[in-house]
Amino acid sequence: MFTYLKPDVRERLVAAGKLVRISGDGSCIDNENSTDEDALIINLLGPIPLPLRLAGNSYQVNWYAAVRSTELEKVEGLAAALRKSGGQNLFADLAPSMAVNSAVVIGNPENLENPLVRVHSNCLTGDVFGSQRCECGAQLASAVSRIADDPSGGIIIYMAGHEGRGIGLWAKAATYLLQDAGENTYQANQSLGLPADSRDFTDAAALILYFLGNRPMRLLTNNPKKIDDLSSAGLTQMTTQGHVAGVSKWNKRYLSAKQSWGHKISDSDIAT
């Protein structure tokens, strides 16, 4: 994914307050250059008014796009090479995936008590194609609906680099074939020599801290790893609410594997 902003456009967006830089603790960074190359710095673009329609329901939300400064620095170099060569023969250099995450703000959660928060790992097959091999698409639609209906509103952090619990779409396709041969979703990752779950929630925590601070909030999740990772990153006032959705005969085995891996899913949750 080639992500680039002309410098003059970037300056206009910064001046308008539509492009800010935040640190790992959610605070704004005024200076353009960080003295610590290892520091987490996220560029945040928005708000962008976005009318949504999911599962037959319409919503009005504000969307923000977020990307690490280290990723943008790589793109700046590619853009310079693109201009120098006149744009020829660079497709392969521009094709590598870049994780551009999103924040979807529903209502005014920054002004209200105990907002709802969903950190959602992207899933092309579930979120876009509507696959029932997982519950991801149903979870996303349910989270938007629950937050929109809640008086406190809330926020969805959509993690673009999390396909297949962090292994990417190509490897995920291979795991589906392994699952069809009898392995469960975690075993299939490990059969490829990859972690069962390699997702990093550091950026998600930084975005939540930026929008909401470290204050009471309700996290929509069944995943204890997500809870532990976000807590370790500075979000210490979370309570959790179960978030089971889209259960069908097609994903019951998948959900049972999650249950055995420690997800807070009961037998009654996945009864079909």
Q: Where are the domains of the chain?
A: 7-162+199-260
Distance separating alpha carbons of residues 15 and 12, to the nearest angstrom: 5
Structure tokens at 152: 């406190």
Class of the domain covering 7-162+199-260: alpha beta
Distance separating alpha carbons of residues 121 and 155, to the nearest angstrom: 14
Judge whether 197 counts as a catalytic residue: yes
Predicted confidence at residue 80, as pLDDT, reads: 61
54 forms bridges with which residues in the sheet? 57
Distance separating alpha carbons of residues 249 and 133, to the nearest angstrom: 9
Distances (CA, A) of 270 to 122, 226, 251: 22, 21, 9
Distance separating alpha carbons of residues 238 and 215, to the nearest angstrom: 8
Give the predicted TM-score (pTM) of the model: 0.85
Predicted confidence at residue 226, as pLDDT, reads: 94
Nearest C-alpha neighbor of 208 from the set 101, 60, 54:
101
Predicted confidence at residue 5, as pLDDT, reads: 75
Which contiguous run of DSSP H or E holds residue 50?
strand 41-54
**What is the full per-residue pLDDT of the chain (272 aa) written as tens digits?**
345 677 888 889 999 999 999 999 999 987 555 555 557 889 999 999 999 988 788 999 999 999 887 655 555 565 565 556 554 444 444 444 457 899 999 998 888 889 999 999 999 999 999 999 999 999 999 999 999 999 999 999 999 989 999 888 989 999 999 999 999 999 999 999 888 888 889 999 999 999 999 999 999 999 999 999 999 999 999 999 999 999 999 999 999 999 999 999 999 999 87
By the 8 A CB rule, do 261 and 188 touch? no
Q: Which of 199, 203, 218, 229 is catalytic?
A: 199
Handedness of CA 125, 269, 57, 106 (dihedral sign): negative
By the 8 A CB rule, do 152 and 116 touch? yes
Predicted confidence at residue 7, as pLDDT, reads: 82
Predicted confidence at residue 76, as pLDDT, reads: 58
Q: Which of 127, 197, 203, 229 is catalytic?
A: 197
Predicted confidence at residue 166, as pLDDT, reads: 87
Judge whether 38 counts as a catalytic residue: no
